[in-house]
Amino acid sequence: MRPAKHLRGLGLPVALIAAFAASVSPSRAQTVPDKDAIINQLSRFETAPALDIASLRQQVLERSRSRSRHEPEPSKRPPIVPALFKLPTVNLDIDFDTDTPVVRPDSYQTLGRLADALVNARLSPYAFLIVGHSDSTWKREANVILSQRRADAIRDVLVNTFKVSAKRVQTLGLGEEQFIDQAHPTSPVNLQIQIVTIAKLPEQSEQPRQAATAIRPSAAKKPAKKR
């Protein structure tokens, strides 16, 4: 073992190195969510609100460009999509490379667990919205754009890597126009991604197949009439 005096001499540099490493690390401590907990939460669906996702994207972007002198401070802005508060929701910590939509490898386990839940029989009848958020520490419009790109990136991972049907997943970036923690606009909680149940898909009917079967015999070529 090294003498104690040598360890004391190394104490300050080691502390500085540890502090520097903590300051440059972009990752947050993550707890991989329980699949059954996700299923239980997202399956509590009762009614489907009328959500025009394309229109909402435009509204969010336009509000983020507001330069009104009477614009309320971040903690007092009214929610732009209040209907989301009434829908089953799961919040997830997903790490991205700084200021990019690139999902970090340590978050793939969380997204894999989410995918397992979404393809479960209890959730297979539903459609979902991936909602991106941000805190208030950057420009409003840039926050909306980045939150949309990050929501799109998660959808791409779910669809392309984990084979969730693209028809069941939509995306919406809210930036800082609707905080998760409204009272604390700079809270790390506002960087979370939300998965929201937004609709129940129509049940597939066997009638078209049966109808096609019934029509097929009548389509057979009739014997030629005798001259």
What pLDDT digit, counting tens, does each position of 137-189 carry? 989 999 999 999 999 999 999 999 999 999 999 999 999 999 999 999 999 99
Compute the mean pLDDT over every residue in the chain, rounded to the nearest whole number. 83
Residue 171 lies in a domain: yes
Residue 55 lies in a domain: yes
Section 214-224 average pLDDT: 46
Residue 215 lies in a domain: no
Q: Choose between 205 and 193: higher pLDDT.
A: 193
Residue 185 lies in a domain: yes
State which residues form the domain around 135.
39-66+78-203
How many domains, in total, are found in the chain? 1
Residue 26 lies in a domain: no
Residue 180 lies in a domain: yes
- What is the C-alpha separation between 152 and 159, in angstroms, rounded? 10
CATH number of the domain where residue 184 is located: 3.30.1330.60
pLDDT of 224 reads 53
Residue 72 lies in a domain: no
Please give the order of strands across the beta sheet that includes 169-175.
89-92, 193-200, 126-133, 169-175
pLDDT of 116 reads 98
